[in-house]
């Protein structure tokens, strides 16, 4: 079985969740961690051998199969493009980009370079989400007029998040 060399960019709440999930796969090495704040300490705490503050430096130095982009939304496009231009596949937290034009450009780049690209939609496999989907599909809940939802969190409240 091939072992994939990966790095995680962004070591906040969701970055740590990606690291935990990658370790459970059994055929992934997490070679580096990149974070703009306290990267060395976070890498040490998470048991990752190399840390960077600059994702460009990391992508230029490390030989990676893929990166996980776990950074604020407005940085996804730039990081993904830089990685794919260097033939590195991506797993990106949602949203993939902030514009349709950016998304189309990255899909074209992925296809041109024969890479893999994925957007993480972790909630899609939650039992309550599947139950809601089934009830809507089977028309068990009546006619839907509107849907309103919230995902309340405070993990980007502080500059260090």
Q: What is the residue-wise DSSP string for 94-159? A: SPS-SSHHHHHHHHHHHHHTT--EEEE-GGGG-HHHHHHHHHHHTTTT-------------TTSST
Is it true that the peptide bond before 26 is cis, omega within 30 degrees of 0?
A: no
pLDDT for residue 146? 87
pTM comes to 0.79
Q: What is the DSSP letter of 2?
A: P
The pairing of strands 66-69 and 4-9 is: parallel
d(CA 32, CA 115): 20
* Sheet hosting strand 51-52, strand order edge to edge: 51-52, 28-34, 4-9, 66-69, 89-93, 117-120
| Mean pLDDT of the 126-144 span | 85
Question: What angle (nearest 5°) sits at the alpha carbon of residue 26, between those of residues 23 and 28?
Answer: 70
Q: What's the pLDDT tens digit per position in 56-114?
A: 999 999 999 999 999 999 999 999 999 999 999 999 998 899 999 999 999 999 999 99
Structure confidence at residue 36 as a pLDDT band (50, 70, 90): very high
């Amino acid at each position: 079985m091939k072992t994939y060399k990966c790095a995680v960019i962004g070591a906040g709440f969701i970055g740590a969740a990606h690291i935990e999930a990658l370790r459970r796969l059994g055929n992934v090495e997490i070679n580096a961690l990149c974070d703009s704040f306290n990267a060395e300490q976070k890498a040490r705490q998470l048991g990752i051998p190399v840390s960077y503050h600059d994702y460009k430096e990391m992508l230029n130095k490390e030989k990676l199969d893929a990166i996980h982009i776990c950074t604020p939304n407005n940085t996804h496009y730039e990081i993904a493009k830089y990685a794919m231009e260097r033939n590195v596949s991506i797993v990106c937290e949602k949203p993939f980009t902030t514009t349709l034009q950016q998304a189309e450009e990255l899909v074209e780049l992925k296809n041109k370079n024969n890479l893999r690209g994925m957007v993480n939609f972790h909630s899609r496999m939650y039992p309550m989400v599947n139950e809601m989907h089934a009830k809507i599909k089977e028309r068990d809940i009546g006619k839907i007029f509107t849907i309103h939802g919230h995902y309340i969190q405070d993990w980007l409240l502080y500059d260090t998040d």
